[in-house]
Amino acid sequence: MPAPRSRPDRATSTDGSRADGSRQNARPCPVSLQVRAKVWLEHEGRFVIGEGGLRLLLAVETSGSLLAAAREIGWSCRHAWGYLRRAEQALGVAVESARPEPV
């Protein structure tokens, strides 16, 4: 099969636009699309923490309490505690440590 011939007067970039600014097939998209991504951390192939867990840890840092942090992000305390416990098991180290109450 012969290689396609290049036409310098019709060269296009990767987004379909031509050197003169016009676009090939410039029809509006019939549906509204959005790019989405999900991020999480794994250790040795095991899930450790996702976006919700990060929100939990940040809320613990600001509030100083797992219970207050769980309430802030809309989780039950039991769910938050179990989430951190599973993250610690996957990592093999403590994720959070108890802070002593001020005297």
Radius of gyration of the chain (CA): 25
Neighbouring C-beta atoms of residue 70, cutoff 10 Å: 22
Residues near 49 by beta carbon (within 8 Å), at least 6 away in sequence: 40, 41, 57, 87, 95
From CA 96, how far away is CA 66, in angstroms rounded?
A: 9
**Looking at the domain that runs over 38-93, which CATH code has it been given?**
1.10.10.10
Residues 34-91 have pLDDT tens digits of 999 999 999 999 999 999 999 999 999 999 999 999 999 999 999 999 999 999 999 9
Q: For residue 75, how many C-alpha atoms fall within 13 Å in the half-sphere facing its CB? A: 22
State the pLDDT at residue 85.
95
What are the residue ranges spanned by the domains of the chain? 38-93
Sign of CA dihedral 49, 50, 54, 59: negative
Q: Which amino acid is at 30?
A: P
